[in-house]
Structure 1
């Protein structure tokens, strides 16, 4: 199964490399957009020492985890965003006819080239933040790998669940729901304590992006380590199982090209 996944990604990269300028521009765009995103907390913290008790480097660390998770999702699971068009164009018939799990095939499809740049920038900013906070240690790096894995699962699950709603509506293969959820998740780039209680609840339990960035930073800084680690694992598993359940329930509603 892993060989199939890697082979599909390899073929996609070969296809994109037929246009080298487009390939490198997509990589650059991922770096540039995230760089300007980092400027916002830099400007704010230049005038305000802390935001809700969080230092500039801690906010950078939150954003680094989010960038790494989003970038890996784009590189590894970009096919999720193709699901609505596949359903309404009838191309999902091909997915169902192959002797491979539809869930696995959707995850394998496509590849967001800009995600490579996002991952690179996230990796650099992660190391910078850890060094500035004085927690750049082997144990911390191992924990960061675990956090990024959980964050990628949460991010991917969010994309899959919202795009799977296409099985229940008729909108020509286009909907703003997945993009709306992603925009809501972008509020988790900052400590959620600065938001109203209702938004804090949403970012923790409805669109749990706070578990991608803020919660790992709290663990790294020694806050409620065991309980937060357990909560992170549970949220990751629940998100994955929930998204998979919605996806397969949606397939039962699929009516091929005549829908």
Structure 2
């Protein structure tokens, strides 16, 4: 199947899901506003801390805010366009994955399109605004190449986020119960990347830079954007981290899919 065909099918699946969701307007606004409120409260929390302590290990308020917002921005994009990864547990436990297997369409594409997280729109909007304000309030020497690299880092950050979500939720192929907390545990580890990883012990730095490379979503892009000395060159590993994350997640998903046994009496 060609890439153009996959994009076409994704668009058709996505539009159908969106039509179903927009039937419930109140739910749409409640989910979007609740996600936005969460981000705003987090921003206020950071502001209160930095109002008392203006510098934490060489990191200023807007620099840490950038990292904080990048986590929510990528989460928003992931929820809005790839929420289906969080439906994987239900698809496996209820046997609904059977109909995906019968279609002449890649299963992983159908999983991506099996849901839309409207709360992601709130995360996307507020996260985007906070990232923009962080860049505006910082003394950055702009150039065309720097703008292009920042866009590249955002793309790699989204790929990493979606890949980790897919890999974490693929645990449903082995942990077959409704209370599977493994994906949520993996998701919550992203909270560590809302702040400079230099604040944490070496073991945690290694984990969120390699096993679960959340640091390439926020910390390493921030070191490049704000020119943080010894760390500022690590952003160049972001495309490799994104490619490795995507390959590993797809491999885990395909292996789990080979163990899928549907449901029965």
1:163 alignment counterpart: 169
Please show how residues 129-144 of structure 1 align to structure 2 within 5 Å: 129-135=134-140, 137=142, 139=144, 140-144=146-150
Q: 1:127–1:136: 8 Å Cα contact kept in structure 2? A: no
Number of aligned pairs?
258
For 2:234, which of 223, 228, 238 is the aligned residue?
A: 228
For 1:176, which of 178, 181, 184 is the aligned residue?
A: 181
SS at match of 1:83: helix
SS at match of 2:130: helix
Structure 2 distance, partners of 1:209, 1:232, is: 10
- 1:63-87 deviations in Å (ceiling 9; x for gaps): 1211111100001110001111111
Where do 5+ consecutive residues of structure 2 fail to align? 1-5
Matched, 1:214 2:239: no
For 2:104, which of 99, 112, 116 is the aligned residue?
A: 99
Structure 1 distance, partners of 2:68, 2:26, is: 28
For 1:193, which of 176, 195, 198 is the aligned residue?
A: 198
Q: 2:17–2:115: 8 Å Cα contact kept in structure 1? A: yes
Structure 2 distance, partners of 1:10, 1:224, is: 45
TM-score between both structures, scaled by the size of structure 1: 0.94
For 2:252, which of 225, 243, 246 is the aligned residue?
A: 246
Please show how residues 1-259 of structure 1 align to structure 2 within 5 Å: 1-135=6-140, 137=142, 139=144, 140-171=146-177, 173-222=178-227, 223=229, 227-258=233-264
TM-score between both structures, scaled by the size of structure 2: 0.92
SS at match of 1:257: coil
Where do 5+ consecutive residues of structure 1 fail to align? none
